[in-house]
Chains A and B, each alone.
Chain A
Amino acid sequence: MNRMLYQLPLALLLLIFTLPLFAGIETYTFETPEQERIYHKLTEELRCLVCQNQNIAGSNAELAQDLRKKAYEQVKQGKSEDEVVKWMVDRYGDFVLYRPPVKATTLFLWVGPLLFLLIAFVVLWRIGRTRRNQSSETDPVDEQSLEQARHMLEKKES
C-alpha cells in the first residue's frame, strides 16, 4: 500500500470511494498475557500513517505491518507501553497517536468538553433559578386553547 502512496491521484481517478484495507493478521506469540495486552493496545492506538484514518491493527498496509513488527519486537524485549509510544513519536511525531498528548497545542481539545459542561451547568442553574422566581402567569398550554388557536388560524387563512 505504501508503494501506492504517491500514486494516489491516479488511483483516485479510478476509485471514487477509498475504503480501508483489511486487518492484517500476524501470528505473534507472547511470553506473558500482559505483553499481549500492551501489544494490542498499542496497535489499536497507533495510527497507520499512509492509510485513510485507520489504526495499525486495522490495516494491512506495508507500513502498518512494519510498525506492528516494531511494536511487537519492543514489547517482546520487555519495553513498556510508554517507551514504545515514545519510540514511535520520535520518528513520526504526535500524528501517529490516536490519543493526542496533553500539551499547550492540545489543551483546548482536552479541556474543551469539560469547559462546555461547566458552562452548560452554570447556564442551566441560572435558568432554573430565574424560571422559578417568575410568577406562573402563563399556564401550560392545554388541549382546548391549542385547538382554539388552531381554529382561529385556519379561519384567518382560508
Chain B
Amino acid sequence: MIPEIGQIALILALGIAVIQAFFPLAGAQLGIRSWVNVARPAANLQLLFMLIAFGSLMYAFIDFDFSVKYVATNSNSKLPTIYRISAVWGGHEGSLLLWATILAVWSFAVSLFSRSIPDVMVARVLGVLGLVSIGFLAFTLLTSNPFERIPMQADGHDLNPLLQDFGLAVHPPMLYMGYVGLVVPFAFAIAAMLGGRLDAAWARWSRPWTNIAWLFLTIGISLGSWWAYYELGWGGWWFWDPVENASFMPWLVATALMHSLAVTEKRGAFKAWTVLLAIFAFSLSLLGTFLVRSGVLTSVHAFASDPTRGVFILGFLALVIGGSLALFAARGKSIRSYVSFDLLSRESALLLNNVLLVVVTFMVLLGTIYPIIHNAFGWGNLSVGKPYFDLFFVILTVPLAIGLGAGQLLRWKRDTVTNLFSKVRTALIISVVAGVAATALLMPNFTFSAALGIGLGVWIVCTTGKAIREQLKARSFTSIPRGFWGMAFAHIGVAFFAVGITLTSVYSIEKDIRLAPGESYELGGFNFAFDKINTISGPNYSGNRGTITITRDEFETVLHPEKRTYFSSSMPMTEAGIDAGFTRDLFVALGEPLGDGAWAVRLYHKPFIRWIWLGTIIMALGGFLAATDKRYLRMASRARRQRRQAAVTVGATA
C-alpha cells in the first residue's frame, strides 16, 4: 500500500512540475499576473509530494518490503536499520529519487528566500526549475521506477557491503545538494536571459545560491574522497575515476562562476561569460549524471548500465543544455557588457582565474571522454588515468595558485606593476624562503615539488594576510564584510589543500609485509607490532580483527584493522585501522592469511594527508561566510519591510 502511495505521489509531482513550468513561464512572458502567481504554491506542493514519495520508499526499506524490487535488490533482513535508510539512495533508482527530491528542496528554498526579488523573475526561475524537474521525474517514472513491484521475496539480496558505511549515508546527499544546487544559478541565468535583463541585481541574487551549492559540492566531494581513503584500503584519496571527474568538473566551473559573479555584481563586467559559466556548471552536473548512469565509460562506481537510460538522459541533455545554449546564442550579443579595465587589474586577475579553471575543466573533460573519442574513431579502447590528470593538473594549477595570491591584492579597474610588487614583495620572499627551508629542514629529503607545494601554500597565506591588513587599514575589524572573510577563508583552505596534496604524494611510504603475531616492523620511524588476531562476528558478517600497537618514543596507539566476510556475498572486505594525526596518518590494512598465523599486512605512513580535507573544510567555511554576507540578508529584510509597508498602505486606503 505504502509503495503505491509513493508511486502516486511521484506521478502527481510530475503533474505539478508541468504546471510549475508552464504557467509561470508563460505568465511571465505574456504578462498574466495570475499565472505568475502559480509559481510559489506549485514549488511548495512539488516538495510535499516528493517528500511523500521519498518517505514511502524509506518506509518500504524500514518495513522490509521485499515485494518492492528496488528494496529487495538493495537490502536484506539482516541489514542494520541505519544502512536500510541509506540504502534508499544506494542504487540507481533511489539515488535518482534523491536527485529529484533535492531539486524540489532547492525549488522550495528559492520560493521561500526570494521575497526581495520581483515576482516575475521568481516565476521564471521556478518555471525553469519546473522544466528540469519534469525531465528528472519523467526519467525516474519511465525508465527507473523505484516502486516497481515483484512477487514477495523471502529475503532481499543485499546492499553492497562497501556501501554499508557512514560515508555512504552522508556522501550522496551532500554531493547531490551541490550537484542539484547548481540548477539555481542556472535557472537565474536562463530567467534573466528570458527577461532580457542581466544586471548587477541578477548577479547579486545568484551569488548566495551559487555559494551554497558550491559549499555543498565541496563537502560532498571531500566526503567521497575521505570515504574512498579509509574504506578502499589502497591508501589513495583521488583516482581521477570518471565518477570523481563528473563531480569535480562542475565544482571547477562553479568556482569560476563564483569569481565571475563577483565581477559582474561589482563592476557589471563579464555578463555574457557569467551566464555561460552558469549554464556550463549545471550542464556538467547533468553530463556527470549521463556518464555515470549510461555505461559509456567504465568507472569504479558506475551504476548498472542501461543504454535506454543513456538515450533518455542524452535526449534530456540535448533539450536542456542545447536549449539554453541556443538561448545564449540568440541573446548573447545583447548582454555584452562594455566595461573598461586595465590588463593589470582585479578584473583581469579574476578573468585569468576563470580562464585557468575552465582550461582545467576542459582538460578533465578531455581526459575523461577521450576513451570514447578514441573508440569512436575506430582506434579501440584506451585508458586515461591518474598519471595524465596529475601531470596536467599540476601544470595548470600552479599558475592559478600564484595568480590567486597576487589577484586578491590588485585594485579594481587599474593597477601598476610597482604597486603590486610593493605589496607582494614580502610575501614572495617569505614563501620562497619558507618553501625551501621547510622542505630542507623538516622533510625526510629535499624535493623540488615539496618546496614548490609548501612555497605556494605560504604564498597564499601571506598574500591573504596582506589583503586582510589592507582591509583593516581602510575600516574597523567588525565592519569588514563577511564576503571578504569568505574569500580569505576559502583561499587559506586552498593553501592547506595544496600543502596536503604535495606532501602526502611526495613523502608517503607504504610497505606490504608478512607479519605473524609477536612480530613487528618499522616504518617512517614508527614501530608497528602485530599483537594478535581474533575472530569477530557482526550483525551480517563475520571476520578477523587484528590488534596492532604502534609506538614511537612516548607515542603509542592501538589499531584494529578488520577483514570481513558478509554473509550475502563472497567478497571479503577490509576495514583499515587508521590513526589520524595533524601531521601524518598511520594506516594498517589486513590482507590474506599466509599460514602459520601470519598475515599479509599493508602499512602506510602518510604525512599531512589530513590537510587535504582540512583545506576543503576551511574552503567550505569560506563559502558559508560568503553566502551569509549581511548584504544578502539586508536585501531580504528590506524587501520584507517594504512589503509590510505596502500592506499597511493598502490597509489604510481600504
A interface residues with partner B (beta carbon < 8 Å): 12, 14-28, 40, 44-45, 47, 52-55, 57-58, 93-100, 105-106, 108-109, 112-113, 116-117, 120-121, 123-125, 127-129, 131-132, 134-138, 140-141, 146, 149-150, 153-154, 157-158
Which of B28-58 touch A at CB < 8 Å? none
CB <8 Å contact, A19 and B366: no
A98 with B267, Cβ < 8 A, contacts A16-B304, A128-B343 known: no
A22 with B359, Cβ < 8 A, contacts A53-B242, A132-B340 known: no
CB <8 Å contact, B302 and A52: yes
B interface residues with partner A (beta carbon < 8 Å): 73-74, 90-93, 118-120, 157, 160, 162-163, 199-201, 204, 232-236, 239, 241-242, 265-268, 297-304, 337-343, 347-348, 351-352, 355-356, 358-359, 362-363, 366-367, 370, 373-374, 377, 379-388, 392, 395-396, 412-413, 510, 512-514, 571-574, 589-592, 594, 600-602, 642, 646
- In angstroms, Cα B380 to Cα A15, docked, is 28
Q: Which of B118, B204, B384, B572 contacts A98 (CB 8 A)?
A: B384
CB distance from A41 to the nearest CB of B (A): 9
CB <8 Å contact, A25 and B591: yes
- In angstroms, Cα B366 to Cα A100, docked, is 13
CB <8 Å contact, A20 and B300: yes
CB <8 Å contact, A140 and B385: no
CB distance from A91 to the nearest CB of B (A): 15
- In angstroms, Cα B381 to Cα A18, docked, is 20
A47 with B383, Cβ < 8 A, contacts A113-B363, A113-B392, A141-B268 known: yes
Q: Which of B120, B303, B352 contacts A157 (CB 8 A)?
A: B120
Interface class of chain B by DSSP: mixed
CB <8 Å contact, B200 and A141: yes
CB distance from A1 to the nearest CB of B (A): 9
CB <8 Å contact, B510 and A22: no
Apart from the given pairs A98-B386, A100-B382, A100-B383, 20 other A-B contacts in the complex at a CB distance below 8 Å: A16-B90, A17-B303, A20-B162, A23-B235, A23-B602, A26-B591, A52-B298, A58-B232, A99-B385, A99-B387, A124-B352, A124-B355, A128-B343, A138-B339, A140-B412, A149-B200, A153-B118, A153-B201, A157-B119, A157-B120
Q: Which of B92, B232, B266, B381 contacts A95 (CB 8 A)?
A: B381
- In angstroms, Cα B575 to Cα A22, docked, is 10
Contact residues in B for A135 (Cβ distance below 8 Å) = 340
Contact residues in B for A132 (Cβ distance below 8 Å) = 340-343
Contact residues in A for B373 (Cβ distance below 8 Å) = 108
- In angstroms, Cα B337 to Cα A94, docked, is 48
Closest to A17 in B: B160
CB <8 Å contact, A109 and B266: no
CB <8 Å contact, B266 and A25: no
CB <8 Å contact, B591 and A106: no
A19 with B301, Cβ < 8 A, contacts A95-B381, A105-B379, A149-B199 known: yes
Contact residues in B for A124 (Cβ distance below 8 Å) = 348, 351-352, 355
Q: Which of A14, A24, A112 contacts B157 (CB 8 A)?
A: A14
Q: Which of B233, B268, B348, B379 contacts A23 (CB 8 A)?
A: B233
Contact residues in B for A141 (Cβ distance below 8 Å) = 199-200, 265-268
CB <8 Å contact, B201 and A150: yes
12 A-B pairs, CB-CB below 8 angstroms?
Answer: A16-B73, A17-B163, A19-B301, A26-B591, A26-B600, A100-B384, A109-B384, A112-B362, A125-B343, A131-B340, A140-B267, A141-B199
Closest to B162 in A: A19
Q: Which of B363, B381, B571, B592 contacts A112 (CB 8 A)?
A: B363
Closest to A18 in B: B302
- In angstroms, Cα B304 to Cα A95, docked, is 22
CB <8 Å contact, A120 and B355: yes
